[in-house]
Structure 1
């Protein structure tokens, strides 16, 4: 009797199971990797990059006949209208959960609705706060059509996963939508968005190729787009950023007209201390570094190397800071430091979330803890 009851209960439970009848099969969906947003003539222009996963998990190499991605394009008076116009030409379900980046054109950032566009993506239930944000002056379609070196999968591209190159150099720190919203909502209500350029320094035996390069920042506030820090003007940001970073400086050796030395630097820490006096605030920035020497044969002392590193790092930081002041941007978020550490002073001095800054508001102290000669191929390279 007990066996019959158990059997009836089991059969009833099986019949009540809903199964997976309403689940879309993975091969019957399109997966979005990135979105490009432009704004022209009062309309949004949307570029949708749909990625081909045929090459993602193949150990024997990519499938040559399979296109790594396809780019869809549509226009609309709003971003949502443009997306629905694009849906009309898509023959499968679209999955947004793998979306990894958004690229904004300069005109899209200048649009008064740029923040609303970001909010629209975050309201979608399939998207995530970890989506990376970029800006560019290049044609967005050209940026999205670039494939990684050696035809690797697009999931390994610089835009999809910029941290892959962090072990080589941390020139521009990635910014995701979560960080972007936090920086715009908190003093001084500004954010540095990584700036993309198309690099044409690569080629195969058959033809030249292109690759994306992060070469600076687009500066955005809650009131709109402020401008760019590019190339040399952006170098100082990496030394003030709070996380550990890696970069390089090239120093000119003393008393030697044509001899230079490139040094690898690892930033250990950055400490910023706001000092308020007579209704004015200055910021003491204390930076500690380690240095590794590469590729030099000759006699040079560690004191000479330290002096050269400190001089170049300070020059980089001051240039980024002063270029930011020209654009009315607090590139190092110094106002936030005062907000965190002395809220009373911040309330007294701030205007629209920012404290007044001048060229004299920044006081730098750079310390080089260690100078590592690397492999001691040449005994005379470092002289204590």
Structure 2
């Protein structure tokens, strides 16, 4: 199949084969995960020199450290002798990492510190400066989030995020103390990573149907009716999110009553209300009236901010992902507030969450369907809202209605650009 047959020029259809073709997945590892800014974690996970965490960039195991000088580093978690992982722990404090296979030892800055038998069997002929851990070419942060990129020639993180940063601030820059990650929880789903990512970036259409057990028949006969304040927004192709844009005259208390925190304990509601003045001061009146519902940063950083869930969609082959889900909380929030938020995240979008189980089953079914010889012959429709995109002077990016595939089209057009070149509008 020619690349032009995978995705329509306007993104209005896709070919199911893109979810199950192993050769495409191998190319994605190079051209998508090998060239994009990928979320590694949060600075709160690396609080002091010697802190480390183990994560992945695509299927590459990566060791992220704060070195002795306090600088953030990221390296392939693979010994330069035989490739064994030098770090087996998920997170902790260590200034040195010794490979369990042959004992080569590396410092937290990635340099090779010691080689057993350096004098007796290497005859002092090994140049340790040349055999440190392989570095991730670029490491940068945004409001506490840590990103890495294997491509030394990639655009800056700021350029990569573009207008998406304006929206990320709504959840990352609410308070002067910043945020922190709680978790993660991890589980595997038998799905292609793109099926999961596109749902995060733009699918409000499924809510009344896939989550019918949570939202029973009182939704009415037409479960796809647009919500009054909600919009799908495409800050740039590949990035996407759904938001509530509340009217200026609506009070913070009214915002709260339309969120999951409406039924929160008094101490949680009190905290959210008493910090509202600081939120307005930091974000401005306009952004303080915006609530993020769901979203995704290209390619695999997913969000359900309405329940404080941030997740990394880690690919584990063409037909499987491992979800890493964190609760995002204000660093200076009281312990009881953090505990309630973590519970909310888990109850809704944890591995046994009321919403997550529905979604995981659907994503797996879509992926299985793409394996069928006959199923691959028939395109999938993504034309909802095509030609009805608009812009607003209140927010950056292109807007669609609550039920619109504006973001899915952008996602697959971005995929085409990264995979095969060309323009991405």
The alignment's TM-score, normalised by the length of structure 2, stands at 0.26
Q: Larger Cα Rg: Structure 1 or Structure 2? A: 1
Higher RCO (Cα < 8 Å, 6 or more apart): 2
